[in-house]
Amino acid sequence: MLSPGLSVSLLAVSCALWPAAVRAASCEPVRIPLCRSMPWNMTKMPNHLHHSTQDNAVLAIEQFEGLLGTGCSPDLLFFLCAMYAPICTIDFQHEPIKPCKAVCERAKYGCEPVMKRYNHSWPDSLACSELPLYDRGVCISPEAIVKAEGPDPYYQDPARCNPESSPDFPMDSNNLHCRGPNGDRCRCKIIKMNQRTYTRNNYNYVIRARVREVRNRGLEPTAVVEVKDVFKSSLVNIPKETQTLYYSSSCLCPPLTPGEEYLIMGYENEETSRLLLIDRSIAQRWKDKMDKKVKVRFTFKCTQTDSSSFQSKTNQCRLVSEQQLLLLSM
């Protein structure tokens, strides 16, 4: 609920009725996809996590999509949005309004056990102790919101989002987003695989691999694959064995289907020795004819010798590159 110091009813359309000059002074429309289903449509930056723009906040809040998908707490989405896209009201423009301590505690109580199951703990940046009690300061909770008619934005489908029936958070294109009818869904950009794309994106690794599983373990989406061939590696040694690929977001792009074999192009993190999948990465289902389409070009540098024999000349040659991948017409 709202504390007594803020005894007003909040409607989803209330901010839209303010004069334009007032809104422009400090409030801005909510653009964070996860928070568009919230019963407020105006926010204020910087937020409670010190993100100066909503673009920065989007990147940070994405890490919780997998946790939201478990349905561990009906208060989690509200709490996160109150922190990352805090409500902006005409009466309190000097600073964003915080969620009430009780909202945080309910979200933490429901979700921290799930996080600990995967060796994660409740983030210090979301500490409940830093938030006000409803009767001692200004704060917001779901109970204070006058909801319009329509689907419940906090709806979670228990058949698809129950961590007990799916203890490893397996995610695919059908069950990744369990936010209900008001939530936005991810759309992976289709990248055409050809020599030009390969050269422009400068991929660190190119492998042929069979996908064993794709999962979103709390805050770290991954794909486990069995490497069949390594066409290119740059910073990380990639043996032909089981490897873990790390997604940059829980949208899981590019999409991978367990049991299928792919030609995968991605990036490497030398410090962590991780193979990364980001939006520019490519995963194309492997076909037998691809053996003839993917070639590795070897480049040699030879020094001139006085000998006229072919053997003498080749003995002075050294391999300078073996990973210039040639992608013929795919």
Termini Cα distance of the chain: 58
Token look-up 């003839």 returns: 292
Strands (E), the chain: 28-29, 42-43, 98-99, 139-140, 205-217, 220-232, 242-247, 261-269, 274-277, 282-285, 294-302, 317-327
For residues 255-286, b (16+ Cβ closer than 10 Å) or e, as one string? ebeeeebbbbbbbbeeeeebbbbeebbbbeeb
Contact 306, 299 (CB under 8 A): no
Return the pLDDT at 146: 54
Return the pLDDT at 32: 93
Return the pLDDT at 162: 35
Mark the ranges of the chain whose per-residue pLDDT is less than 70.
Answer: 1-25, 90-94, 134-137, 145-186, 216-220, 250, 291-330
Return the pLDDT at 201: 85
Please list the residues that pair with 264 across neighbouring strands. Answer: 207, 283
Return the pLDDT at 190: 81
From CA 57, how far away is CA 77, in angstroms rounded? 14
Return the pLDDT at 153: 38
Structural domains present in the chain = 4-161 (1.10.2000.10), 195-291 (2.40.50.120), 294-327 (no CATH)
**In terms of Cα–Cα distance, which of 66, 16, 282 is closest to 176?**
66
**In terms of Cα–Cα distance, which of 236, 240, 235, 231 is closest to 265?**
231
Q: pLDDT tens digits for 246-268?
A: 887 767 888 898 899 999 999 98
Query: CB neighbours (10 Å) of residue 190?
Result: 8
pTM: 0.43
